[in-house]
Structure 1
Amino acid sequence: MSRVVVIVGATSGIGRATARAFAERGERLVLAARATQTLAEVRAECADVDVLTVPTDVTEPGALDALAGAATSRFGRIDVWVHTAAVMAYGRFDELPEHVFEQVVRTDLLAAAGSARVALRHFQAAGAGTLILTGSVLGHITAPYMSAYVASKWGLQGLVRTVQQELRDSPQIRLCMINPGSVDTPVYQQAANYLGRVGRPPPPIAGPQRVARAIVDCTDRPRREVSVGRLNAVLRFGFTVLPGVYDVLVGPLMRLAGLSGRPVDAHDGTVFAPNPAGEAVRGGHLPDLRQLARSVPGPPGAALRRWFT
């Protein structure tokens, strides 16, 4: 029997890729995000499976409880809960408006904690379930001009480790943490910006489908933490073992690789409201290798299409 999978943050980037990946497996989906219009688009992309869409602002009191209620009313249970919702803001800490900083933390840390609380309540009642939260390599290292996002991901890392310890007496309830590095999603362009230059993911950049595959794989083979990114281990080593060298290099490297040359006026991005026009699986930071895969005939082309879609 197919599982019931709740995906929070399903309209863009990793969340949207994850919805497609679970749909390919025939799972029943509950898709949640702020933009009703984009939820309808993702529902159409997953048309071969049973899909419930629930417009949800994760920062609104009671919204996640209402989401869980809608899921159980429709399907009778929840087997997997995936939280990918996140926003981002660029700017020096002392120049980033306080209300923007607090809303990023509210979305990226407190709402993720809310998702975990709601999901675990249902899993405890059922006796089993898999909760997957999306962190970042920036939950283990730091980078300038991203203070709110970094603080949120460090907090989430600590929360997950603590809850994993508390779940040791509930072996059928699994909590997995997915920590991507740079990923080709629209979150960088959609970010609030008080720095004057548009952000971008520094290389090497992974495709969102790769992160989605890691998420789906954790439902079959749950693991405490999964890192997705070729340089994640190197960055964590440098941050921990060579902190002085790391701190000297991270600023120039961030300005060179993590920021584009495009100027931008100060704005709040999608921190407070969605931008449906900017939501997509990919952010355009990598070539669309799916098109290349479609042009390759025979078994090699089929293998490439499975990898990139």
Structure 2
Amino acid sequence: MTAKTPDVWLPFPAEEVEGLPDCFRYRRWDGEDDFPADPADCTFYVTPYMKSPEVTLRPLAGMPDIEVVQTLTAGVDHVLGGLDRLPAGVRLCNARGVHEASTAELALTLVLASLRGIPRMVRGQDREQWLGGFYSALADKSVLIVGYGSVGAAVEDRLAAFECARIMRVARSARTTARGPVHALHDLPRLLPEADVVILCTPLTGATRGLAGRDFLAAMADGALLVNVARGPVVDTGALLAELESGRLSAALDVTDPEPLPAGHPLWHAPHVLITPHVGGSSSAFEPRAKRLVARQLGRFAAGEPLENTVLITS
């Protein structure tokens, strides 16, 4: 009897991905109501991008032979709730290396736009107002990057050209890099008052949920800017609203809690805040990097080699 060719589910057409091994049968599924084939035949599932957890997790219960779940996001919090449906030994891999360039670009965009008053100027243009004046520069500012993984490092790459006075780095645990020390999370109370700009790049975990809460925000210097390109729940929205409404802090948020931000939410019209709709990774840089990662992963899988970016293995 001829062995059955295993299925791989992709969120984009297989013919658009160079270098895919020919030992699989490729099925395109990007979250549509109808599945492209029987999920029971799927062995490698590349999840749809920027779909709800309900959509992403829906096929998993019918995938008894699944061996790999590959997300196209750096964070995996949206799929963790479905892992109890999987057999033991399934590898969950994230998309480290796909979003760094795009997210770091947006982080710098949010910093520069906020400091230089671009939102105010755009509103002035709508009213035909010439809003000259004196605005802040990024030059000579101290910047604190909270979450010094691949995204945080990519942010620092782009900060290098802006003549910052100081760049400080914080991660889960302390270490030394070629650029300088990375401090542990417990050093935040000491570092926050020294920063003019705080950029959140950390993944959402039990330790980082609500990290930027009342005490964190209170420790920030008067007039400082908080930038969130991480996940919305890393910031306590109520505590941030209080600081914004007092005028003590400003913020630039690519992610919010709740998200999408509903109509009528007070954050929409809070003073001193710039909001973008979770577009850090959603740029022209995403697709080519995502397809290259998928091709590499499937090549490794076909050859029986270790996969990149394995976050956990189910038990």
TM-score normalised per structure 2: 0.34
- Report the structure, 1 or 2, having the larger helix content: 1
Bigger Rg over Cα: 2
TM-score normalised per structure 1: 0.34
Higher relative contact order (CA 8 A, sep 6+): 1
